[in-house]
Each structure stands twice: as structure tokens, then as C-alpha cells.
Amino acid sequence: MRKVFASTAGLTDRPTHYCPGCTHGIIHRMVGEVIEDLGIRERTVGIAPVGCSVLAYEYFNCDMFEASHGRAPAVATGAKRARPDIIVFSYQGDGDLASIGMGEIIHTANRGEKVTVIFVNNAIYGMTGGQLAPTTMPGQYSTTTPRGRDVRDCGYPVKMAEIIAQLTTPAFVARGSTHTPREIIATKALIKKAFEYQVAGTCFSLVEVLSICPTNWGLSVRESEKWLEREMLPYYPLGVKKRPEDFAEVSADAKH
């Protein structure tokens, strides 16, 4: 009999704790497969965030840190600077990266740390029970915006990929999604590209992955996928936002 499907060496055999229909498992698997495909598992150190994926250190089959809320990029900086030969990635949600950890992600990207960030954006706080995220859509219900996100109070959702992409420092920045098999395949290619840039020692890389949260959105999986496509995609356009190859040398030199 021919084996057509197997688990990836990049993940442990442990069953995840994620809710039914959650796409964290798919994103874990994409990252795990990329780590396996690139043959870097034995020199990779991952960093789990605080949020739904807090237990990611149990699932990735490589050395893992657990970071405090939002600080994974700083931990990544310390690890990578101390051991430039290892491959360092952080796996963070929208509350972790775009709210409490905004300072760390911006400055880690801006310093051009040779690390890879997987940013999962499901427009809601999952683990604490469906509160407002910086990426929650206008009008979207959350337990702390019971009348829907009022942009006059909360501002508009934060577009992290675009924010990181507009920094001058060379980087690879892209956004993918998980709402269709086609997008999953495309997103895995982006994640692979992101890791490849790190393996080559080229630049900082970040892939934002749009994800669904049926539990806290209060929708079925099918409805969630439709909602993501209808509400999130127009606001969070997919694709590569920035490539290090596009970088034009800035000739500024203020030495005096």
C-alpha cells in the first residue's frame, strides 16, 4: 500500500487543544512542514506567545521557548543574536503581536533581525474569550464591543503586514489566508519563502495569516470562511507586501 499522507516531523504527535474548526492546527502544520522540508528542524528554536497558541511549544517538534505576552520578537532577538547559527521563529496571535507587543515587533523588524514571524490574525482575542483585538473588523461583535467595534472609540483595524512593510529596513513581508485549500497552499509557499530568507541570512521575515475563529465569531466553520472572505479579505489584501530584492540602498550617511 502506498502512503499518501503522514504527519510531519516538524510537529509532535500531541493532539492540539484548539477548538473545532480553528485554523491554528493548519497553520501549525504548514510551519511544521516547512521546517521539515527545509531540513532545519534540528537547528530551529521556536517561540510561543500568550494567547490561544500559548501551548504551541508542545506541538512544534523543535526546541521551544514560551515568551511573555507580546515579547516573542524580543526573545527571538536575544536568541538569534546570541546564536546566529540557529533558525528562530515566533508564532504570535493578533493580541500578542499587534496590541501588547506592537513595540517589540516593529523594532525587531526595523533592526532587521534575521528571524521569522508567523502572525496569526483571526480578528479576535480567542483564549480570554472573544474580546476586542486590534484587528477586529469595524462593526464586529466582541465581548468588549457588545455593540460592535465602533471605530470612533476603537479606531480602525491595524494592518500589520502593511505597517511592517513600510519600514525602510529590507524584509520579506506577506499576507496569506486559510479560508480555502488554494489559499492554504499559497500561504505555505509564503511561509517557506520566509524561512528561506532566514536560512540564507538575508533579512527579517513576517507572514500574516488570516485565520478563522468559529467559536468566538459565533459562526459555523463554513460561515466563518465566508465571513473571512467577505469582511476581512477586502480590508486585509493578500499577497507579498515587501521583498528584500526590492530594496534600494539608502545612501544616507550622517556620520560627522
Which residues of the chain form contacts with other proteins (CB under 8 A)? 12, 41-45, 47, 54-55, 57-58, 60-68, 71, 74-83, 86, 103-104, 106-107, 111
DSSP string, 191-224: HHHHHHHHHTT--EEEEEEE---HHHHT--HHHH
Cα gap 120→187, rounded to integer Å:
12
Kindly state the smallest distance separating residue 56's Cβ from other proteins, in Å: 10
Q: Tally Cβ neighbours within 10 Å of residue 108.
A: 24
> Which residue's CB is nearer to other proteins, number 12 or number 131?
12
Are 72 and 47 a contacting pair, CB within 8 Å? yes
Kindly state the smallest distance separating residue 61's Cβ from other proteins, in Å: 6
The DSSP output letter for 250 is P
> Which residue's CB is nearer to other proteins, number 21 or number 78?
78
Residue (of 45, 53, 118) closest to 75 by Cα position: 45
Are 216 and 185 a contacting pair, CB within 8 Å? no
Of all helices (H) and strands (E), which one includes residue 37?
helix 24-37
Kindly state the smallest distance separating residue 215's Cβ from other proteins, in Å: 19
> Which residue's CB is nearer to other proteins, number 54 or number 233?
54
Kindly state the smallest distance separating residue 45's Cβ from other proteins, in Å: 5
> Which residue's CB is nearer to other proteins, number 128 or number 144?
128
Cell matching residue 158? 491595524
> Which residue's CB is nearer to other proteins, number 42 or number 150?
42
204 pairs with which residues across the strands? 171
> Which residue's CB is nearer to other proteins, number 54 or number 163?
54
> Which residue's CB is nearer to other proteins, number 65 or number 235?
65
Kindly state the smallest distance separating residue 2's Cβ from other proteins, in Å: 30
- With H, G, I as helix, E, B as strand and everything else as coil, classify residue 89: strand
Kindly state the smallest distance separating residue 115's Cβ from other proteins, in Å: 10
Cα gap 183→169, rounded to integer Å:
28
Phi/psi of residue 205, nearest 5 degrees: -140, 140
Give the sign of the dihedral formed by CA 29, CA 88, CA 192, CA 216. positive
Kindly state the smallest distance separating residue 230's Cβ from other proteins, in Å: 36
Are 61 and 11 a contacting pair, CB within 8 Å? yes
